[in-house]
């Protein structure tokens, strides 16, 4: 829990919880967090504690620890290398993904307000078999969630997972508090390869959701899947981002109000800005508008923007601090400055609670930090 004691003195930091503080556990290498629909609950997954932890947000913004699930207590949780979490049905259900267990797991809220484990889906292949054994996995990979990394909620009953090792996108349904493969959607994308996907985002606004973007790490590929009336998906476009100087992209964010898409290239010092031209543009839906290059963008692996797209934040897990971004008067993306370089490093995720509140998971500091960014320009 390196350098964590110096954090509370920083003027931007309004809240701090760390693994090992009295009454707090499950935050060894926090990877990602999700907020409840009302913003009153925070759900965090940890890659080294192999855990799901649940916190309540107090009136002042502080997080109060409520509950944790750890693989060490019950391997059936399938949380080895937990990588994502999303809440469904007014937070009645939580779905998690696991990178090393290659699994999706379901938890439900009970009458007491606490959560309990329901079940998990996994091919039950060991991390050694998946990541170190040179022999092909082949048909042993039935669920296509080996190395599960990206997770997106499609609606209150459906979600999709982008998995690095399976090199696939897999679709699931929640029915009668059980997780099921969505065969119709999966059959439509069967055989597609996504260049080791690490992120997945929606296209279209909430009312007219009409597609998905899948970001491939290995060859810097951005795939567009268009949704069909039968709840199937077809690949409509594949963009090679390498020709724009993008290497090993890892972060993807879409601003609905501006129809702009941002891709952070973790292996280089670039952020690409793309325009979403809409469903009817077909295989030319996404168009690169700008390539922003700056030394401070090297290694950016997390990226988030305000709903109006005027301000953004980026962070590199291999670096220090948070890069503040803005759209200038011309509409082009600009780098403003880097803040908190002394206080924060190895940031694994950035989540905006609202325009003025940014929540950070710091992987090597084993901490979740709440920042007041209202004064950042």
- Over the stretch 13-49, which tens digit does the pLDDT of each residue have? 999 999 989 999 999 999 999 999 899 999 999 999 9
Give start and end residues of each alpha helix (H) in the chain. Answer: 127-131, 183-189
Q: What is the pTM of this model?
A: 0.95
pLDDT tens digit string along 331-342? 899 999 999 999
- The percentage of residues in the chain with a pLDDT greater than 90, rounded to a whole number, is 90
Lowest mean pLDDT among 7-11, 72-76, 317-321, 369-373: 7-11
Above 90 in pLDDT, residue 10? no
pLDDT, position 330: 80
Look at residue 8 and tell me whether its pLDDT is greater than 90: no
pLDDT at residue 3, rounded to an integer: 52
Work out the number of other CB atoms within 10 angstroms of the CB of residue 109: 18
Neighbour tally for 60: CB within 10 Å: 8
Beta strands in 71-192 (DSSP E): 82-88, 93-98, 103-109, 115-122, 148-153, 158-163, 168-175, 178-181
Of 234, 215, 233, nearest in space to 223 by CA: 215
How many Å is the maximal CA-CA distance in the chain?
A: 55
Confidence at residue 192, expressed as pLDDT on a 0 to 100 scale: 95
**Cα separation of 136 and 150, whole Å?**
23
Whether the Cβ atoms of residue 366 and residue 18 lie closer than 8 Å to each other: yes
Grade residue 376 by pLDDT with cuts at 50, 70 and 90.
confident
Exposure of 280 by Cβ count < 10 A (0-12 exposed, 13-18 middle, 19+ buried)?
Answer: exposed
User: Please, which pLDDT band fits residue 324 given cuts at 50, 70 and 90?
Assistant: very high
The pLDDT score that the predictor gives to residue 6 is: 55
Half-sphere exposure of 201 (CA within 13 A, CB side): 22
Q: What is the pLDDT of residue 207?
A: 62
User: How much is the pLDDT for 1?
Assistant: 46
Res 11: pLDDT:
86
Domains of the chain: residue spans and CATH: 20-298 (2.130.10.10)
pLDDT digits (tens, 9 = 90+) for 87-121: 999 999 999 999 999 999 999 999 999 999 999 99
User: CA 117 → CA 11, 71, 79, 308, distances in Å?
Assistant: 39, 12, 11, 37
């Amino acid at each position: 829990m390196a350098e964590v004691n110096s954090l509370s003195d920083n003027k931007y930091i309004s809240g701090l919880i760390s693994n090992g503080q009295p009454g707090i556990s499950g935050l060894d290498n926090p990877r990602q967090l999700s907020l409840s629909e009302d913003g009153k609950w925070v759900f965090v997954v940890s890659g080294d504690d192999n855990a799901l932890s649940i916190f309540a947000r107090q009136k002042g913004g502080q997080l109060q620890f409520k509950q944790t699930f750890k693989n060490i207590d019950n391997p059936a949780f399938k949380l080895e290398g937990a990588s994502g979490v999303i809440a469904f049905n007014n937070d009645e259900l939580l779905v998690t993904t696991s990178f090393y267990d290659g699994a999706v797991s379901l938890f439900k809220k009970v009458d007491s307000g606490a959560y309990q484990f329901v079940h998990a889906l996994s091919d039950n292949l060991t991390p050694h078999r998946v990541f170190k054994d040179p022999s092909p996995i082949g048909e042993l990979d039935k669920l296509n969630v080996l190395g599960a990394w990206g997770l997106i909620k499609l609606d209150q009953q459906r979600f999709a997972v982008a998995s690095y090792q399976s090199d696939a996108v897999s679709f699931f349904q929640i029915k009668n508090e059980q997780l099921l493969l969505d065969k119709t959607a999966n059959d439509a994308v069967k055989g597609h390869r996504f260049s080791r996907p690490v992120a997945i985002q929606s296209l279209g606004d909430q009312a007219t959701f009409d597609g998905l973007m899948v970001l491939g790490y290995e060859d810097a590929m951005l795939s567009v899947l268009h949704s069909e009336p039968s709840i199937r998906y077809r690949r409509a476009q594949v963009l090679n981002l390498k020709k724009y100087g993008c290497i090993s992209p890892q972060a993807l964010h879409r601003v609905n109000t501006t129809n702009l898409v941002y891709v952070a290239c973790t292996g280089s010092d670039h952020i690409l800005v793309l325009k979403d031209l809409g469903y009817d543009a077909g295989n030319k839906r996404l168009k690169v508008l700008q390539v922003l290059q700056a030394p401070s963008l090297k290694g950016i692996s997390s990226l988030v923007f305000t709903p109006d797209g005027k301000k953004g934040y980026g962070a590199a897990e291999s670096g220090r601090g948070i890069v503040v971004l803005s759209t200038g008067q011309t509409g082009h993306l600009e780098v403003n400055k880097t803040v908190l370089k002394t206080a924060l490093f190895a940031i694994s995720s950035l989540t905006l609670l609202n325009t003025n509140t940014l929540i950070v998971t710091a992987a090597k500091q084993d901490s979740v930090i709440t920042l007041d960014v209202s004064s950042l320009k």
